Amino acid sequence: MTDKTGLNTLEMNMKEYRELGNAYSTGGGNELFQAIQDPVLVVTPEGMIIDANNAALAAANKTQAEIIGKGICKIIHGGSSPHIQCPLEEFLLTCSPRVEETTLPGLAGEYLLTISPVKDKDGSIRKILLVARELTSYEMTKADAIRTAQMAAIGELAAGVAHEVNNPITGIINFAQLLLDDSEKDSLQAELLEKIVNEGERIALIIKNLLSFARESENNNEPLELTQVIEDSLSLVKHQFKKDGIKIKTNYSEEPCRISGNFTQLQQVILNLISNARFALNERYPTTSPDKKLTISCSPIIKEDGEHVTQIIIKDSGTGIPQGILSRLFDPFFTTKPSGKGTGLGLSISYGIIQNHGGTIKVNSIMNKFTKMIIELPSSGS
């Protein structure tokens, strides 16, 4: 019941059994509220849950006492990072209506979440209805297609900006270098010009990364065995992982994992993903722990539509990623790391590389439990 008529009916009936002041003690609701088959939660604009119907309790696998008075992000997302505000909780403060497709691990599924503010007689809003309808497989496929189109548009924008900036920054670097060559060594002028050159080269590197995200780099594809890409990548970081006390486990299929791809680019993807996993594991377990582990699997699979792909799954038991920001994870310059710890381009570049190989990269995560990166690439013949 997500249309305006249904909302008005529900709002009128809610008055019969619940007021904000006694929301914690009633513990129930009228028959209409409990009869709704979709999970329904009533929250304050600050994100505190004040009521939930039976469907919500069943989906969350919790009792009324375990939900009432808790933060909405904690219940439906599994929590959030201390340095990242939950987008849902931020939006609730606006007291505005909204409909979005999202993953809710706390309710164990993919949902269409309808946010409906409830006005009091004086026009104020002290309660907000959240109605979660589980998505069908068709709707999930459609959502993936929309997301792919959005990322393609972002890639075009990134490429346009990169091209526009590339020429002038190259000129700045070259002219500064000419002046630097004619300057007295160890002079103040030489020091400042050297800083201009260094900062210019840093901008040039960012532009190069943006072009990688926009999939404008050369392919140079060749037949590859993906397990070899993974092993070569791990050989570069095994010492760091051992020093951090991180256990690495690999599960490879006995069948060949052959694809057509660019070894260097795919190695860049693997290194970026395991570097993120290392950061998350060290954040959750600063010292040693038996649960401080990274698992990498690789195997050829046949998808439901009959497509033959090779799948890589990189799973860590680190801090996890807040569900509210998963949809933004591959956006350029967006990072889940604290300020100064990341540029926000690593996953964007990885996304571009995998797309350029005709594959997909997805993420699944629950706070303080795990993060799973799933890569699928078209298989090639033996």
Where in the chain are the domains?
A: 4-135, 140-213, 222-378
Q: For residue 29, name the pLDDT band (cuts at 50, 70, 90).
A: very low
**Record: fold of 4-135:** Beta-Lactamase (3.30.450)
The Cβ-side half-sphere exposure at 296, using a 13 Å CA radius, reads 20
Is 26 or 205 the better-scoring residue by pLDDT? 205
Q: For residue 40, name the pLDDT band (cuts at 50, 70, 90).
A: very high
Task: Assign domain 222-378 to its CATH architecture.
Answer: 2-Layer Sandwich (3.30)
The reported pLDDT for the residue numbered 24 is 36
Task: Assign domain 140-213 to its CATH architecture.
Answer: Orthogonal Bundle (1.10)
Contacts of 278 (CB under 8 A, 6+ apart): 237, 240, 241, 244, 246, 294
Amino acid at 122: D
Q: For residue 220, name the pLDDT band (cuts at 50, 70, 90).
A: confident
- Round to whole Å and give the CA distance between 71 and 205: 41
Q: For residue 147, name the pLDDT band (cuts at 50, 70, 90).
A: low
The reported pLDDT for the residue numbered 291 is 92
Q: What is the dihedral of CA 32, 34, 35, 36, to 10 degrees?
A: 100
Is 70 or 382 the better-scoring residue by pLDDT? 70
What are the pLDDT digits (tens) for 159-209? 667 767 777 888 888 888 888 888 888 888 888 888 888 888 888 877 776
> Is 70 exceeded by the pLDDT of residue 23?
no
The reported pLDDT for the residue numbered 17 is 34
Using the structure block, give the residue that is written with the tokens 């919500």. 56
> Is 90 exceeded by the pLDDT of residue 293?
yes
**Sheet hosting strand 370-378, strand order edge to edge:** 247-252, 293-302, 308-316, 370-378, 360-366
Interval 339-364 mean pLDDT: 78
- Round to whole Å and give the CA distance between 158 and 207: 9
> Is 70 exceeded by the pLDDT of residue 69?
yes
Q: pTM surpassing 0.75? A: no
3-state SS class at 85: coil
- Round to whole Å and give the CA distance between 355 and 213: 9
Is 83 or 247 the better-scoring residue by pLDDT? 247
Q: Is the separation of the CB atoms in 129 and 116 below 8 Å? A: yes
